[in-house]
Chain A
Amino acid sequence: MPGPIQSIERAAAILRLLARGSGRLGVGEIAESLELAKGTAHGILRTLQGVGFVEQDKDSGKYQLGAALLHLGTSYLDVNELRSRAINWADALAARSGEAVRIGAPLEGRVLVVHHVFRPDDSLQTLDVGTLLPLHATALGKVLLAFDAALVASLRGGELEAYTRRTLASPTAVKRALAKVREAGWAGELGEMTPGEAGIAAPIRGHGGIVVGALGISGAVERLCDPDGSPKATLLGYVRDAARAVSRDLGASRW
């Protein structure tokens, strides 16, 4: 195991220093207090500024703690807020794809359905907002797992239930699938939860790119997939576009 990383220790010291003083500090004052070279202090401050942990006053050029640091403990996104922000994009996705749309967020080792838009064919459907789905057997769940190591850890303890003969029921198979999801940026589901049903999902990212939920469509395999079982390219495009649009609304600039 490697030893402590010096630059992170120094960054922590700078944050402590800024938190202690009442006003703002210049780069020279910070360097002096911590006995650092001015160039080193400046480099660390620039990095901290990039992630929003410190802010530089435009006029004086001095530094203070950044707003992102204050919200560190509350970075989780309220699921009702998520629905409210995503609702128009989810509607548009349902209208374009002709399929039912769901938004999922992790809850107690499962996928909580946060939002559900009916398939636009006016057939009898019921809202399943509040339902819990398995992580390993749904496209929504696989997206959530792929970008959340703590969630993967929650799977290890329990048995993976095989809902159909296609369900990925071994940890190794799930792990392999998640690597693919991370690489591709989306997840598919092919009869793994219900025979004949398919799903396509993509991540919704919040501030700084953290995955806060998954957005996807689901429906009959023959409507969603090509004969070889891969998702139809147009539908996949719609799903990824919608997820990106919601992410942009939530402030994830790069995705």
Chain B
Amino acid sequence: MVQRYVMSIDQGTTSTRCILFDARGRLVSVVQREHHQHFPRPGWVEHDATEIWRNVTRIVPDALAQAGVGAGQVVGLGIANQRETTVLWDRRTGAPVSRAIVWQDTRTDQMIEYLSREPAAKRVRELCGLPLTTYFSAPKIRWLLQSTPGLQERAERGEVLFGTIESWLIWNLTGGLHVTDVTNASRTMLMNLRTLSWDNELLEFFDIPRAMLPEIRSSTEVYGTTTTVVPGIRIAAALGDQQAALFGQTCFAPGEAKCTYGTGSFLLLNTGQNLVLSKHGMLTTVGFKIGDEPAVYALEGSIAVTGSLVQWFRDGLELISSAPEIETLARTVEDNGGCYIVPAFSGLFAPHWHSEARGVIAGLTSYITKGHLARAVLEATGWQTREVVDAMNADSGLALSTLKVDGGMTADNLLMQFIADVLDVPVVRPMVAETVSLGAAYAAGLSVGYWPDLEGLRRNWHRAGQWLPAMAPSRRDTEYAQWRQAVELTFGWMRPSTNTARPPRTDLIEVILDDHRQIEHLLRELRNEDADRTSLLAELSAVLTAHFTATERILHKRVGIDVTALSEEDLEDAVNAHIRDEERLLLNELRRSLSPSDRTALGRAFRHLSS
């Protein structure tokens, strides 16, 4: 009998891998190629979509050759891909209109700042489950359309197409099929999470023409057949990489979760057909959708600093020479000696959301050695996982029963045991470490009937190792309390500068803009639950009253906002509308109509009244 195999392509942020799996889900061949990272400006990250496609055309035949397998023996291809990365290409020539903007790219931060002041911004999260930040595709598309002359019109005519990476690969493999899978679509900020279709309100909000978008399809279905590279292979599944890992870890039922421990870490919890909007800043996303069955949703929590804390310990402090040695060093002591490290290197993310926080090493005494510090480094990953799991349990009403783990840090036994201890659930490592590729292969195999059902896939999944909780509950509680105390120490470290170093600005436009930024800062502070709200409200009220008075007297413009009469929420809306209108219309007009000397004179007068 001729052996048959499933093929997966994992198109990741730094490399692309093609892996063949056999009927028992075991690796048969692996071929990998890296692609270039382009950093044209600070904060910008780009990939050449053509280079990625060229790599695919090489690794697919190589993977077949390595295993001595013909295309006829491949039952289907599954694609997993880096999420959110945005490619725009010409429908006629198939050539990208520019380099792809990668998920990490932050060029759209000002656009996000501006968009978040729109009244409709509140609706974004409700509709697509994602917070308005730079990671997702919609702002990247907007940026490309805005910055390339004529592109908006071409997109409206359907001459320019958008796709995340799996769309781009399917388009090329099939010679022109323009589709996306629902998990990838759920990362664009343009898809309605309930209807699983492109949402008019979101398209309008980001001003993105529908004609450029791919058709949204299930994660597992045969989209088409390859016509090039190795023709005749059915493309049977596509998933975003973290969702593919969820699938590869066979987290098919509500309450099942996986965490991938790398530089940063991604925890996804299956919430079944129940779409949970988080109150703690987790993302809501589509986990997978099998054929015509209803979509399965997931909550996603990311931890910014996990493996990178170990790297810092190695490269920044030079206390170890390789990452795995941290376990050796940590085992030279019995416990953390009362020392805690909170790695808020660029603020604290979910579930705290303090961008002004910065990291601390707390509990230092002369007793502390580098061994204790090593423990504290590993424990930081454990406690951060605990915080995300607690938030997810609270959001979903589900109680996590087991955590399935993958990624490089799973080689650290001390860490895995600690995670089991602090979560108080078993932590399980699967035998196939390549969970992303395996997930794509599972989905494709399921789609073409190579594997009969989800139970069949579960039988393929094997435990390679398991860590059982062994920490006394009282110790867990005390340690967690200590950790939270350390976390609180990080809050409020970065204070916005109060411009003491700089002489006060006198240009009218700049004076008004300074006022606006100060007002926005106060509004943001009010959203922080730990803030001293009474004094903040008093300060806001004083600043607003002075600013509006100056606006009415100097600019002769009626503001019409009664600071004392409005509710906090209405006041915020009205103030945001005032700022938006003024910056869009009035300030631009003043820039054109006023002479520099007028601007300085009026600026002085405005500042005098408003401060």
Interface-located stretch among A35-43, A82-90, A134-142: A82-90
Q: Can you list, as one digit per residue, whether each of A44-57 has a CB less than 8 Å from chain B (1) or not (0)?
A: 00000000000000
- Whether the pair A122, B324 counts as a contact (CB closer than 8 A) is no
- Whether the pair A92, B27 counts as a contact (CB closer than 8 A) is yes
Contact pick for A122, options B26, B327, B463, CB 8 Å: B463
What is the number of contacts between chain A and chain B, taking CB atoms within 8 Å? Answer: 70
- Whether the pair A80, B431 counts as a contact (CB closer than 8 A) is no
- Whether the pair B327, A80 counts as a contact (CB closer than 8 A) is yes
Chain A residue nearest in CB terms to B463: A118
Q: Can you list, as one digit per residue, whether each of A106-140 has a CB less than 8 Å from chain B (1) or not (0)?
A: 00000000001110111001110110000000000
Question: Does residue B33 face the partner (Cβ distance < 8 Å to A)?
Answer: no
Assuming the contacts A91-B431, A129-B413, asked whether A96 and B26 have C-beta atoms less than 8 A apart, the reply is yes
Contact pick for A95, options B413, B431, B465, B466, CB 8 Å: B431
Q: For A83, what are the chain B residues with a Cβ–Cβ distance below 8 Å?
A: 324, 411, 413
Chain A residue nearest in CB terms to B26: A95
A118 to chain B, nearest CB (A): 5
- Whether the pair B26, A118 counts as a contact (CB closer than 8 A) is no
Q: For B431, what are the chain A residues with a Cβ–Cβ distance below 8 Å?
A: 91, 94-95, 117-118, 120
Q: For B521, what are the chain A residues with a Cβ–Cβ distance below 8 Å?
A: none
Question: Does residue A81 face the partner (Cβ distance < 8 Å to B)?
Answer: yes
Question: A89 to B323, alpha carbons, bound, how many Å?
Answer: 19
Question: Does residue A78 face the partner (Cβ distance < 8 Å to B)?
Answer: yes
Interface size on A, residues (CB 8 A): 24
Question: Does residue B432 face the partner (Cβ distance < 8 Å to A)?
Answer: yes
- Whether the pair B324, A118 counts as a contact (CB closer than 8 A) is no
Q: For A126, what are the chain B residues with a Cβ–Cβ distance below 8 Å?
A: 466, 468
Q: For B325, what are the chain A residues with a Cβ–Cβ distance below 8 Å?
A: 78, 80-81
Q: Can you list, as one digit per residue, whether each of A180-206 has a CB less than 8 Å from chain B (1) or not (0)?
A: 000000000000000000000000000
Question: Does residue B279 face the partner (Cβ distance < 8 Å to A)?
Answer: no
Q: For A120, what are the chain B residues with a Cβ–Cβ distance below 8 Å?
A: 431, 462-464
Chain A residue nearest in CB terms to B408: A84
Q: For A88, what are the chain B residues with a Cβ–Cβ distance below 8 Å?
A: 433
Chain B 494-553 interface residues, beta-carbon cutoff 8 Å to A: none
- Whether the pair A95, B462 counts as a contact (CB closer than 8 A) is yes
- Whether the pair A117, B323 counts as a contact (CB closer than 8 A) is no
- Whether the pair B466, A84 counts as a contact (CB closer than 8 A) is no
Q: Can you list, as one digit per residue, whether each of B402-413 has a CB less than 8 Å from chain A (1) or not (0)?
A: 000000101111
Q: For B463, what are the chain A residues with a Cβ–Cβ distance below 8 Å?
A: 118, 120, 122, 125
Q: For B466, what are the chain A residues with a Cβ–Cβ distance below 8 Å?
A: 118, 125-127
Contact pick for A118, options B27, B410, B465, CB 8 Å: B465
Chain A residue nearest in CB terms to B24: A95
Question: A87 to B410, alpha carbons, bound, how many Å?
Answer: 9
Question: A180 to B25, alpha carbons, bound, how many Å?
Answer: 37
In this complex, the member of B410, B411, B464, B465 whose beta carbon has the largest number of chain A beta carbons within 10 angstroms is: B464
- Whether the pair B462, A78 counts as a contact (CB closer than 8 A) is no
Q: For B324, what are the chain A residues with a Cβ–Cβ distance below 8 Å?
A: 78, 80-81, 83-84
Q: For A127, what are the chain B residues with a Cβ–Cβ distance below 8 Å?
A: 413, 465-467
Question: A102 to B226, alpha carbons, bound, how many Å?
Answer: 42
- Whether the pair A80, B412 counts as a contact (CB closer than 8 A) is yes
- Whether the pair B323, A84 counts as a contact (CB closer than 8 A) is yes
Question: A96 to B464, alpha carbons, bound, how many Å?
Answer: 13
B555 to chain A, nearest CB (A): 65
Chain A residue nearest in CB terms to B461: A122
Interface size on B, residues (CB 8 A): 25
Question: Does residue B14 face the partner (Cβ distance < 8 Å to A)?
Answer: no
A56 to chain B, nearest CB (A): 26
Contact pick for B322, options A78, A87, A92, CB 8 Å: A78
B191 to chain A, nearest CB (A): 36
Question: A91 to B485, alpha carbons, bound, how many Å?
Answer: 40
- Whether the pair B26, A117 counts as a contact (CB closer than 8 A) is no
Q: For B432, what are the chain A residues with a Cβ–Cβ distance below 8 Å?
A: 91, 95
Question: Does residue B346 face the partner (Cβ distance < 8 Å to A)?
Answer: no
B461 to chain A, nearest CB (A): 9
Question: A118 to B465, alpha carbons, bound, how many Å?
Answer: 6
Question: A92 to B325, alpha carbons, bound, how many Å?
Answer: 24
Question: Does residue A79 face the partner (Cβ distance < 8 Å to B)?
Answer: yes
B469 to chain A, nearest CB (A): 13
Q: For A125, what are the chain B residues with a Cβ–Cβ distance below 8 Å?
A: 463, 466
Question: Does residue B328 face the partner (Cβ distance < 8 Å to A)?
Answer: yes
Question: A81 to B468, alpha carbons, bound, how many Å?
Answer: 23
- Whether the pair A81, B322 counts as a contact (CB closer than 8 A) is yes
Q: For A118, what are the chain B residues with a Cβ–Cβ distance below 8 Å?
A: 431, 462-466
- Whether the pair B328, A79 counts as a contact (CB closer than 8 A) is yes
A81 to chain B, nearest CB (A): 4
Q: For A94, what are the chain B residues with a Cβ–Cβ distance below 8 Å?
A: 431, 464
In this complex, the member of A81, A92, A129 whose beta carbon has the largest number of chain B beta carbons within 10 angstroms is: A81
Chain A residue nearest in CB terms to B416: A127
- Whether the pair B411, A117 counts as a contact (CB closer than 8 A) is no
Question: A137 to B485, alpha carbons, bound, how many Å?
Answer: 51
Q: For B327, what are the chain A residues with a Cβ–Cβ distance below 8 Å?
A: 80
Chain B residue nearest in CB terms to A95: B26
Q: For A78, what are the chain B residues with a Cβ–Cβ distance below 8 Å?
A: 322, 324-325, 328
- Whether the pair A122, B322 counts as a contact (CB closer than 8 A) is no
Q: For A80, what are the chain B residues with a Cβ–Cβ distance below 8 Å?
A: 324-328, 411-413
A235 to chain B, nearest CB (A): 16
Question: A81 to B408, alpha carbons, bound, how many Å?
Answer: 12
Question: A95 to B322, alpha carbons, bound, how many Å?
Answer: 28
Chain B residue nearest in CB terms to A88: B433
Question: A122 to B327, alpha carbons, bound, how many Å?
Answer: 27
B466 to chain A, nearest CB (A): 7
A249 to chain B, nearest CB (A): 13
- Whether the pair B433, A91 counts as a contact (CB closer than 8 A) is yes
Question: A79 to B411, alpha carbons, bound, how many Å?
Answer: 11
Chain B residue nearest in CB terms to A85: B324
Chain A 57-99 interface residues, beta-carbon cutoff 8 Å to B: 78-81, 83-84, 87-88, 91-92, 94-96
Question: A127 to B568, alpha carbons, bound, how many Å?
Answer: 56
- Whether the pair B328, A87 counts as a contact (CB closer than 8 A) is no
Question: A3 to B323, alpha carbons, bound, how many Å?
Answer: 46
Chain B 456-475 interface residues, beta-carbon cutoff 8 Å to A: 462-468
A82 to chain B, nearest CB (A): 8
Question: A116 to B467, alpha carbons, bound, how many Å?
Answer: 12
Q: For B433, what are the chain A residues with a Cβ–Cβ distance below 8 Å?
A: 87-88, 91
Chain A residue nearest in CB terms to B414: A80
A to B CB contacts below 8 Å, 9 in the list: A80-B327, A83-B324, A84-B323, A87-B433, A118-B465, A125-B463, A126-B466, A126-B468, A127-B465
Interface residues of A (CB under 8 A from B): 78-81, 83-84, 87-88, 91-92, 94-96, 116-118, 120-122, 125-127, 129-130
Q: With A88-B433, A96-B26, A118-B462 given, can you name 10 additional A-B contacts, CB distance below 8 Å? A: A80-B324, A81-B324, A83-B324, A84-B408, A95-B432, A117-B464, A125-B463, A125-B466, A127-B465, A129-B413
Nearest 10 Cβ contacts at the A-B interface:
A120-B462, A84-B324, A80-B324, A80-B327, A84-B411, A81-B324, A117-B464, A87-B411, A95-B26, A78-B325
